[in-house]
Amino acid sequence: KAIRESGLGINPQLNGTIIMLPIPELNEQRRKELTRVAAQYAEHARVAVRNVRRDGMDQIKKAKTDGMSEDDQKFWESEVQSLTDRFIKHVDDLLEGKQAEIMQV
């Protein structure tokens, strides 16, 4: 059921005790569809990274109210933002590579 609902265009077939997964041929339309699926996964990864950034920023704000200096707050906020930017760029680079790999004939 999970394979069928994955959106990959794979429809499992039961043949006795064997499950067969016929993989459709990668034509141009199918390749574009797979790049869209990859982009969706990348967007989920970006959202997860931004959620971690939000949690980190919330902890920094809490530490500020608990007595952290303003200089330390600015430093850690810039560190969190720097890490966020680095990981989002990494996700984008991975997506770009995967899309090029999928579209390669």
How is the chain split into domains, by residue range?
Answer: 25-103
Please tell me the distance from the alpha carbon of residue 43 to that of residue 63, in angstroms, as a whole number: 30
pLDDT value of position 5: 77
Give every residue of the chain whose pLDDT is below 50, as ranges.
Answer: none
pLDDT value of position 16: 85
pLDDT value of position 23: 78
pLDDT value of position 77: 96
* Single pTM value for the model: 0.74
Please tell me the distance from the alpha carbon of residue 10 to that of residue 31, in angstroms, as a whole number: 14
pLDDT value of position 96: 97
Cα 15 off chain centre by: 35
Domain 25-103 part of CATH 3.90.230.10: no
pLDDT value of position 14: 83
- Nearest of 103, 94, 95 to residue 30 by alpha carbon: 103
